[in-house]
A and B are shown apart, each in its own frame.
Chain A
Amino acid sequence: MHLYDVPLVFALIGLVLYTVLAGADFGAGAWQMLAGRGAAGERTRDHAHRSMGPVWEANHVWLIFVLTVMWTAYPTAFGSIASTLSVPLLLAGIGIIVRGAAYALRTGAESPRELRAIDRASAVSSIVTPFALGAAVGGIASRRVPVGNAAGHLFSSWLNPTSALIGGLAVATSAYLAAVYLAADAVRVGDRDLERAFRARALLAGVLAGAIALGGVAVLHSDARPLYQGLVRGAALGALVASVLAGAATLALVWWRRFEAARYTAALAVAAVVAGWGLAQHPLLLPGLTVARAAAPHDTLVAVVVAVIAGGALLFPSLGLLFGLLLRGHLDREPGAAQPVAEGRAILAASAPGLLGRAAAACLVAGIGFLTIAEQPWAHALGVAALLAFVVLGFFALESADQARL
């Protein structure tokens, strides 16, 4: 592997994580539509919402990660892809707006009727978004995105058999991942009815996703011959076989109610498909554009790789913390009743506010001198620091001392 391949591997890993994590979220949205009315339906929808609440934002940032790595490391390819596939990408964007707004709105909803309306909007967008993103991937995989500014067809680039296949597969996979996740979560909260319901849904969606994937081979054979030929040989074929095995294993695990393990095999199946796609297409990123030629200059690639590794070193432990708290059930309760604490301690020592106030005034005078009157850059830096110190000191002087007397 060359340096110029590394960011692409990062982007594909990001894509897998987005598919698995945000996919589960979209799937949960989609299941809300099929939950029906009444108390049972409401419970199902509530469960789907509650399980996702704390991780929703983080899951969606993976898409931003993929986009930023692509446009930094493979700018020409990114510009070509985004301009040709503008319609599905805008659709996906709007779907993400609606899905995210539904999260924000649900915190304010009071009646079941409001909740149902919100969930319905969120469900529609949860189907549209994965389909549109999958269709966009289908356009790239079937070589319908040439290099150039909107050089491909505005519609047939994403409305074609391969796009329909991958879009459909994305929806089915999302539904499957969500059902497995929600079944596991139902076990955790000890709700047998919900567990049964989501186990059945998982099996149904899993079989459907498997059928689409297998039937899809025929679609690729007729619609995307180069991709098909790449997929049926060498390492790509190995990845495909691994995906089939992982898919079968995950169904078996769901059948035996081993939901936690099933989530990992399901993720493996998705990862294997994405890897197979990458291997089948290698070394081409777009028709006539190799990864090597699409890649940014050396210094940029080094900077991206370093940034991603450093960022990952911060990110993964943090994600581990979040999911750890979530899976251990620590984050189930939304902000609720206050716990009683002893009252009446002073916030700061009595003499502190006066000192802080005088220090703030001194900083203000220094700030004006250095920033407004002086001309040198170092003086400006000092001036900004002094002015920010003025705000902070002044704030503490006022709000930590007088506060309680207002």
Chain B
Amino acid sequence: MLVATPLAAALAPVHQRYLLEARQMQALSFAVHIPLVCFGIAFPALVLFVEWLHRRSGDELYLVLAKRWSKVMLALFAVGVITGTILSFEMGLLWPNFTATFGSVFGLGFAIEGFSFFMEAIFIGIYVYGWEPLSPRLHFASGIPVVIAGFTGSLMVISVNAWMNHPSGFRLHGGKVVDVDPLAALFGNSYLWHELVHMYVAAYIVTGFLVAGVYAIERLRGSWGRYQRTALAIPLTVAALAAPVQVLVGDWAARDVARSQPVKLAAIEGLAKTTRGASEHVLGWYTGGQVRDGIAIPKLLSLLAFHNPNATVKGLDTVSPARRPPVNVVRVAFQLMVGIGTALALLGVAYLVVRTRRRRLPQSVWFYRALAVAGPLSVVALISGWIVTEVGRQPWVVYRVMLTSHAVTGAGGIPVGHATLALVYAGLAAAVLWVLRRLARAPLELTVAS
């Protein structure tokens, strides 16, 4: 359906000197928001699980833990609300022509996401401020909408991103967007599912490793009671189970990319020419039409992408140079994501083996050191994954329909806005770290021996 008619955008495209800065500003805003999204998705489920343990066992330790985590959850949610608001502003501030031209196609996704966000905000307020006033049963019930809204919210946002990568639900007629079917655009899209599952699983990995990492650091500092062991084990078990699953989900996602976005795959792999039985390169740097200093594994790329060692993989040469994404950015980000993801999966498996065989937590100090860095590394992998998706789609904002340079604002002062936002976000990051340390330092309200 996507013929090569040039698009007639709703507003006349203008030349923007600072297109790269606009993209950087958008990338910064995403990079700040996405880790918080992970906590919005996964943390409520963990808190609710701990509350459930308390309800089943009557053990007070779980209640104390759930309450403390719920405070952190609320603080991070508040920061998520504001960084999310900035993102919705930027849809217009930075990319007015994208929104003006295609708002009628994809906008519904955000409108529904807005309601999800609403439900999450309302019930998170009830949950965190409702520990005493509500009956235990009602209080537990008030947490369930938070978990559901975390899922539906991410579903809607990902449906928009999947549409940008694999647009459908409209036709171009003489360059104009016609026959708009927003439901088909958002939900009739085969690209949605792998993106959604990949992100949803990532949320549990990031949240799990980051939270467990906090208690790993406590252990390294010599604080290791039952409270810390419990608070470490619960998030770590989720992350350890989810990390190997993510390897499989990621492989599925890559096969979908190979079919729908061959140029993105070519950039990921640094494949200049269309090749039959293409080899996979690990590490290395793309320069002069090939990957240098990498380790080549013959036929592996064809096998992974198409389940056939002799399959033909399209190269960057299928499109003109101006229609190719920056190869090394995409490629390095991809290798980082896969490398970290694999390491996290191995760490998870090691933990699961000890947990199931010996029925205790690992004892090696190296395990806890690894765990302390696993959290931040999982965030790096998360951001890298989004770089692969978003930079890999360039120069298109809507894949093969609208160029990013046609979507950008004509307003001046982007570097000023970018610098201001960077400063504000640096302050915000410092503030969040400060408040999290403060919350962690507050004495435990445990009356039972730990």
User: B-contacting residues of A (Cβ < 8 Å)?
Assistant: 53-58, 60-61, 63-65, 67-69, 71-76, 78-84, 86-87, 89-90, 92-94, 96-101, 103-105, 107-110, 147-151, 154, 296-297, 299-300, 303-304, 307-308, 311, 314-315, 318-319, 321-322, 325, 330-331, 333-348, 357, 367-368, 371-372, 375, 377, 380-381, 383-384, 387-388, 390-391, 394-395, 398-400, 402-406
- A338 and B434 within 8 A (CB): no
Q: Which of B58, B74, B132, B413 meets A343, CB within 8 Å?
A: B58
Q: How many A-B residue pairs have CB under 8 A?
A: 376
A387 and B197 alpha carbons, distance in the complex (Å): 10
Binds A, one of B238-246, B267-275, B280-288, B388-396: B238-246
Given contacts A81-B92, A150-B410, contact A311 B112 (CB under 8 A): yes
Indicate whether B318 reaches chain A with its CB closer than 8 angstroms.
Answer: no
Task: Spell out B's residues near A (CB within 8 Å).
Answer: 10-14, 49, 53-54, 56-60, 63-64, 67, 70-71, 74-79, 81-86, 88-89, 91-93, 96-105, 107-108, 110-115, 117-119, 121-126, 128-134, 145, 178, 180-183, 190, 193, 197, 201, 204, 226, 229-230, 233-234, 237-238, 241-242, 245, 248-249, 251-252, 307, 352, 355-356, 359-361, 409-413, 417, 420-421, 424-425, 427-428, 431-432, 434-439, 445, 447-448
**Given A104-B79, A150-B411, A338:B96 Cβ within 8 A:** no
From B111, B113, B411, B448, residue with most partner A Cβ within 10 Å: B111
**Also in contact, A100 and B82, with CB within 8 A (given A54-B129, A67-B89):** yes
Given A347-B53, A395-B241: A101 and B96 within 8 A (CB)? no
Most-contacted residue by chain A among B70, B125, B360 (CB, 10 A): B125
Q: Which of A75, A84, A367 contacts B10 (CB 8 A)?
A: A75
Closest approach, in angstroms, between the C-beta of A314 and any C-beta of chain B? 7
Task: List B contacts of A400 (CB < 8 A).
Answer: 53, 56
Closest to B49 in A: A399
- Known contacts: A60-B85, A61-B114. The answer to whether A303 contacts B183 by CB under 8 A is yes
Q: How far is the CA of A339 from the CA of B152 in the complex (A)?
A: 34
Contact B57 A346 (CB under 8 A): yes
Partner of B118 from the list A58, A81, A109, A342 (CB cut-off 8 Å) is: A58
* A322–B67 touching, CB < 8 Å: no
Across the interface, do A79 and B133 meet the contact criterion of CB distance under 8 Å? no
Closest to B410 in A: A150
List of B residues within 8 angstroms of A74 by Cβ: 103
Instruction: With A65-B114, A322-B122 as known contacts, state yes or no: A154 contacts B413, CB within 8 Å.
Output: yes
Q: Are B78 and A90 in contact (CB under 8 A)?
A: no
Given contacts A57-B81, A101-B431, A335-B70, 18 further A-B contacts (CB under 8 A): A54-B125, A56-B125, A64-B88, A71-B91, A79-B11, A82-B93, A100-B79, A154-B411, A154-B412, A296-B107, A322-B122, A338-B445, A345-B56, A380-B193, A384-B197, A400-B53, A406-B360, A406-B361
Q: Which residue, of A383, A387, A388, has the highest number of chain B Cβ atoms within 10 A? A: A387
Given contacts A67-B89, A103-B78, A53 and B129 within 8 Å (CB-CB): yes
Given contacts A68-B110, A81-B92, A391-B242, contact A86 B411 (CB under 8 A): yes
Report the Cα distance A390→B240, complex, angstroms.
12
Docked CA distance A391–B121 (Å): 27
Kindly list chain B residues whose C-beta atoms are within 8 Å of the C-beta of A73.
Answer: 103-104, 107
A371, B252: Cβ atoms closer than 8 Å: yes
> Is there contact, CB below 8 Å, between A377 and B190?
yes
| Closest A-B pairs by Cβ, 4 of them | A82-B92, A72-B107, A79-B100, A75-B103
A404 and B57 in contact, given A149-B410, A399-B237 (Cβ under 8 angstroms): yes
Q: Which of B101, B117, B241, B352 has the most C-beta atoms of chain A within 10 angstroms of its own C-beta?
A: B241
Tell me the bound Cα distance from A305 to B83 in angstroms. 27
Complex CA–CA separation, A335 to B65 (angstroms): 12
Which residues of the other chain, B, contact A81 by a CB distance below 8 angstroms?
Answer: 92
**Min distance, Cβ B104 to any Cβ of chain A, angstroms:** 3
Closest beta carbon of chain B to A340's beta carbon, Å: 7
A400 shortest CB reach to chain B, Å = 7
Q: List 28 A-B contacts (CB under 8 A).
A: A61-B117, A61-B121, A65-B115, A72-B110, A74-B103, A75-B103, A75-B104, A78-B103, A79-B101, A80-B11, A80-B96, A80-B100, A299-B181, A300-B107, A303-B183, A315-B118, A322-B126, A325-B126, A330-B130, A331-B130, A335-B67, A338-B445, A375-B307, A391-B238, A394-B352, A400-B56, A405-B359, A406-B229
